[in-house]
Amino acid sequence: MWNLLSLSKSTSKDDKKLVTAIRTIVGISPSNLALYKLATLHSSKSTEKNGYRESNERLEYLGDAILGAAVADYLFKKYPFKDEGFLTEIRSRIVNRESLNNLARKVGIGAIVQFDNKNNHLQQVILGNTLEALVGAVYLDKGYLSTKKFVIDKLIQPYFDLDVVVNSNLNHKSKVIEWAQREGKEIRFEITEVRKGKMGKEFSAQVFIADQAYGTGFGFTKKKAEQDAAEKTNTMLNIS
């Protein structure tokens, strides 16, 4: 396993690139570079050592919890008179899989994640997971307060207009179905592929309107794959 208690002393080109990326994405200089190397290592690129396959999955588990706590903390203080149902819904809209994948893409996670790049589909679904793993690495390296600052200052405030999040209808599937009905066109969703990955089944979905293929979506459930496909179709057809 990575030596998580020691500061990496390597000065390789890849290490320097990772340090620069962490400074840009997180806003801090890493103290324990090994944590961040592990956070960016997807299981498709890992190797087995002594019966253990190193990957970022444990850090992803930790980061998921810390990210949820930091967002909940932020929303709790920002909306002092809203009930728990409202807070839970808004937090879900920020940290759901599609939202995190988009956010990870915007902050540059794609440039540092280590994965099997022969699988083009894989990058569509792992960026958000890697972002969660990065949150876990920052937490172990710098503590909760620094992690919360990273989440709020570098992720939420620059990339989420909370007024839009609160008032938006995120049911992309309903939008495209309603559009098709208004236009008098037949629409259907098809699950075109099911892959067995490390984290379970990965689904691919395709939208067909009047038998013409439109958006293709991915997700770890059929529902999420269809929502992703619908969102892409809405973009293609300028459905707002």
Q: Which domain holds residue 219?
A: 172-236
**Is 60 among the catalytic positions?**
no
pLDDT tens profile 137-163: 999 999 999 999 999 999 999 999 998
The helix (H) or strand (E) run that includes residue 207 is: strand 200-209
Domain boundary, last residue among 135, 167, 199: 167
- Residue indicated by tokens 């929502």: 227
Question: Are residue 133 and residue 178 in the same domain, yes or no?
Answer: no
Question: Are residue 176 and residue 122 in the same domain, yes or no?
Answer: no
Q: How far apart are alpha carbons 42 and 230 in whole angstroms?
A: 27
Question: Are residue 121 and residue 213 in the same domain, yes or no?
Answer: no
Question: Are residue 182 and residue 121 in the same domain, yes or no?
Answer: no
Domain boundary, last residue among 152, 167, 182: 167
**Which are the contacts of 238, defined by CB distance < 8 A and separation ≥ 6?**
none
**Is 116 among the catalytic positions?**
no
- Residue indicated by tokens 């990496």: 8
Question: Are residue 157 and residue 193 in the same domain, yes or no?
Answer: no
CATH number at residue 97: 1.10.1520.10
Whether 61 is covered by a domain: the verdict is yes
DSSP 101: H
The helix (H) or strand (E) run that includes residue 59 is: helix 57-78
Q: How far apart are alpha carbons 134 and 131 in whole angstroms?
A: 5
Residue of 92 and 207 predicted with greater confidence: 207
The helix (H) or strand (E) run that includes residue 209 is: strand 200-209
Whether 3 is covered by a domain: the verdict is no
CATH number at residue 197: 3.30.160.20
Whether 2 is covered by a domain: the verdict is no
The lowest-confidence range among 72-86, 166-180, 221-235 is: 166-180
Q: Are 205 and 226 in contact (CB under 8 A)?
A: yes
Is residue 194 classed exposed, middle or buried when 0-12, 13-18 and 19+ CB atoms within 10 A define those classes? exposed
Q: Are 144 and 237 in contact (CB under 8 A)?
A: no
Global pTM reads 0.69
Question: Are residue 145 and residue 42 in the same domain, yes or no?
Answer: yes
Q: How far apart are alpha carbons 20 and 15 in whole angstroms?
A: 9
**Catalytic site residue from 57, 60, 98, 132:** 132
Residue of 194 and 89 predicted with greater confidence: 194
pLDDT tens profile 42-83: 887 777 676 677 888 999 999 999 999 999 999 999 999 999
Question: Are residue 142 and residue 197 in the same domain, yes or no?
Answer: no
Residue 188 has pLDDT above 90, yes or no: yes
**Catalytic site residue from 57, 60, 64, 228:** 64
Domain count, the chain: 2
Question: Are residue 178 and residue 129 in the same domain, yes or no?
Answer: no
Question: Are residue 203 and residue 232 in the same domain, yes or no?
Answer: yes
Whether 1 is covered by a domain: the verdict is no
Question: Are residue 159 and residue 207 in the same domain, yes or no?
Answer: no
Q: How far apart are alpha carbons 137 and 120 in whole angstroms?
A: 26
Domain boundary, last residue among 132, 150, 167: 167
Whether 6 is covered by a domain: the verdict is no
Whether 8 is covered by a domain: the verdict is no
Question: Are residue 81 and residue 177 in the same domain, yes or no?
Answer: no
Question: Are residue 156 and residue 229 in the same domain, yes or no?
Answer: no
Whether 4 is covered by a domain: the verdict is no
